[in-house]
A and B are shown apart, each in its own frame.
Chain A
Amino acid sequence: MSDAAQPHSEISSTRDYSLTGASSRQAEEVGLAAAEWYHSDVPRKTMKAMMKRRDGPALRDTAIWIALHILFAAGGIYFWGSWIAVPFWLAYGVMYGSASDSRWHECGHGTPFRTRWMNDVVYHIASFQLIRNPVNWRWSHARHHTDTLIVGRDPEIAWMHPINLFLKALAFVGFVDTWASFKTLARNSLGMLSDDEKIYIPETEWPKAAFWARVHLALFALTALAVLLMLANGMGWKSAIPILLIGGPRVYGCWHMVLTALLQHGGLPEDVTDHRLNSRTLYMNPISRWIYWNMNYHIEHHMFPMVPYYALPALHDEIKHDLPAPNTSIWDGYKEMMGAVMKQRRDPSHAVRKTLPPTAKPYNEFLHKHVPDRSDAG
């Protein structure tokens, strides 16, 4: 399915992933910033049909998602004190801490619902669940789509070199991310944005970032207050319930989000302008696909972000002749990715390069010979 990529340039193990450093300037100089990316040919009529928005599928899936929150939380509370409660809380955690990520993502694009305010409502709820400032992340994700995996331009690169496998493993329980998210919210609530945030968030949006950070922190403060009141009323361990319901699942329920998100671009090359090279499409079981809202069709999503999640399987069928063969399962994807990651720890220029089918157009690589030598960066 794949072979090792030839390194595009000599790249040191230390790279400058900030948006204000040497890599950013180099990316702009060589034309990697806001570059023209490869798109598979799709007839306009077909694309129009695929881009079509409908409220029905997203309403159905959102109703199920909300119902499962209620059902699992009710089970967890009802069986409190018994081991039977544990699977209910674990399942609730996945709804809250993992399924929210794909809802956040899709509604951030504004694609699942035809009715715009419905996208916005679900986006804000999911942002709160994930402890993400809804303003910052809307803009960082726009940049991720402009400059996917371009070092110094993309603020959402998950696998940064040198790779720290301990931190990656720790991400499956979200302590580190949650702590970092709270620090960001606290900083934003004081009206302070980092240098990178100032790069990708327009100045007109900065007050909104502060406003939503304050709203989120206030809701978390109310949750903490509920815990304290319950403790004061002698409710003992039951006082943990508010945190198990709100905020806590970002820690104990994020594992499925991390499991799928790491596969999106892991082990694939940076600084290319063809999503067939730097994104991974894979097949997966229907439960994971429902939790993930079909983002396993990740090349397709990056190539055509206007296509809603429920049309991605049809888009995949339409362009698969032009894409590398998908990985056959999550396990297959991890085998490929982790094989490459282990090599990247010794040789950061290594990356998976998948073979295209004979029906595909060649990779869009005209810019890649200009990829900067980063041996002095960092």
Chain B
Amino acid sequence: MPWIDAIAADDVEEEDVIRWDHDDKTYVIIRSPDDEFFCTAGLCTHEHVHLSDGMVMDHEIECPRHNGIFDYRTGKALRAPACEHLSTYETKKEGDRVFVNVP
């Protein structure tokens, strides 16, 4: 799977999220409070709402419409109405760029 140059590290603040669209698919890239980068599917598994408008708190991301919560490190759904897990993708930081390994 190819590594894609996705965003500049400074595009997203610590403990925040940014939308990233690639190849007709939508993702979110999350910068954790400890300055690590993570990438998950961009839509909530409950009703396909964009998670980029949601909230990052510690290692969780919360859907903006129904407050479903996921662990963005593993994609695990933690709180209803989110029941299905999120897909996650590898990331790496090189210089000031963040790369994502997408299918």
Q: A residues within 8 Å of B by Cβ?
A: 34, 44, 48, 51, 53, 109-111, 114, 116, 138-139, 142, 145-146, 202, 204-205, 304-306
Q: In the complex the two chains form, is B62's CB within 8 Å of A116's CB?
A: no
Q: Name B57's closest neighbour in chain A (CB-CB).
A: A53
Q: Which one of B2-10, B22-30, B78-86 is at the A interface?
A: B78-86
9 closest residue pairs by CB, A with B: A51-B55, A142-B66, A142-B81, A110-B67, A109-B67, A306-B64, A306-B55, A34-B47, A146-B47
Closest-CB distance, B83 to chain A (whole angstroms): 6
**How many residues on chain B are close to A (CB under 8 Å)?**
18
CA A205 – CA B55 in complex, angstroms? 25
Q: Name A138's closest neighbour in chain B (CB-CB).
A: B80
Closest-CB distance, A102 to chain B (whole angstroms): 16
Closest-CB distance, B35 to chain A (whole angstroms): 17
Q: In the complex the two chains form, is B83's CB within 8 Å of A204's CB?
A: yes
B57-71 Cβ-contact flags toward A at 8 Å (1 or 0) = 100001011110100
B65 contacts across to A, CB distance below 8 A: 145-146, 305
Beyond A304-B64, A305-B66: 12 further Cβ-contacts under 8 Å? Answer: A44-B16, A111-B67, A116-B69, A116-B79, A145-B66, A146-B47, A202-B83, A205-B80, A205-B83, A305-B65, A306-B55, A306-B62
A48 contacts across to B, CB distance below 8 A: 16, 55
The reply to whether the CB of B42 lies closer than 8 angstroms to some CB of chain A is no
A110 contacts across to B, CB distance below 8 A: 62, 67, 69, 79
B16 contacts across to A, CB distance below 8 A: 44, 48
CA A74 – CA B62 in complex, angstroms? 41
B75 contacts across to A, CB distance below 8 A: none
CA A48 – CA B46 in complex, angstroms? 22
CA A142 – CA B68 in complex, angstroms? 10
- Given A48-B55, A114-B57, A139-B64 contact (CB < 8 Å): no
Task: State which of A44, A51, A114, A138 has its C-beta within 8 Å of the C-beta of B81.
Answer: A138
CA A306 – CA B67 in complex, angstroms? 7
B54 contacts across to A, CB distance below 8 A: 306
CA A204 – CA B46 in complex, angstroms? 13
Q: Name A141's closest neighbour in chain B (CB-CB).
A: B66
From B16, B54, B62, B81, name the one whose CB has the most chain A CB atoms within 10 angstroms: B81
- Given A48-B16, A114-B57, A306-B55, A146-B83 contact (CB < 8 Å): no
Closest-CB distance, B18 to chain A (whole angstroms): 9
Closest-CB distance, A354 to chain B (whole angstroms): 24
7 intermolecular pairs with C-beta atoms under 8 Å apart: A110-B69, A114-B57, A116-B69, A142-B66, A146-B47, A205-B80, A306-B64
A53 contacts across to B, CB distance below 8 A: 57
B83-94 Cβ-contact flags toward A at 8 Å (1 or 0) = 100000000000
